[in-house]
Structure 1
Amino acid sequence: MSSAATRARREEDVQKAYDIQVQAGIEGAARATAVGTGLTIIGHYTWPVFRRQKLPFKAFLVSVCGLIFGAERALLEHEAKRRLEENTIRKLARLELAQKGIVPTETEIAKWRAENEQ
């Protein structure tokens, strides 16, 4: 497999991960805003320490935390899925190369992948 093909596949993976992270961040921020607004109201009326906090700080807690946690969760799920797919492909390549009597080095696995992707 040429380095250009490898680079293109990696750039595609990076772009897909970015898109997943952005979408999950937006959804997480919306969910946190919906749930966090209610919790902020409850906290404001029941907890004096929270009541003394300024409104911008409360808004920051409500929206940014959901954005960060939502995006991070989605990215970790995507990375785990990609790692599983990559390990499956590499396992299959090692098995087929070993059956042919070829030592499954990184170069040979890359060649096998290039042949089988076509």
Structure 2
Amino acid sequence: MPDFVPTIDDETLERLVNREFTSDTAGRVHSLLETYGAKPHHIERNRVRAAILKLAHGDLGAIQRQVSVAITDFRDVVGAAEYPRQMEIGFAGMSDASEEHLQDLKNQDWKDYCDWLQKP
């Protein structure tokens, strides 16, 4: 059962910043987001930055908090943004769930993420 993995390019990331924040704060948002990706082990920069934006819900303080989480372990941010239902049941819940239920969770998570990503 493959996972859904978004591909976030620079243009998409810019659109998300402009959609989620005012032009007055966009520069600050970019500065905060750029702190994730400064180290060689910071992988999938745009994917993680998009996850940070999704979790922040337009709150500049939340951007800063989520960047700190991502710097510690990017999987916590990506998991919460892209796979919230799966994260909610955890690994123990996943091992107890049926394949059909897991696929339903993945499909719902992916649909929600795509809806957020494509929102005007």
TM-score normalised by L of structure 2? 0.30
TM-score normalised by L of structure 1? 0.30
Q: Which has the larger radius of gyration?
A: 1
The structure that is helix-richer by fraction is 1
**Structure ranking higher on relative contact order (CA contacts 8 Å, 6+ apart):** 1
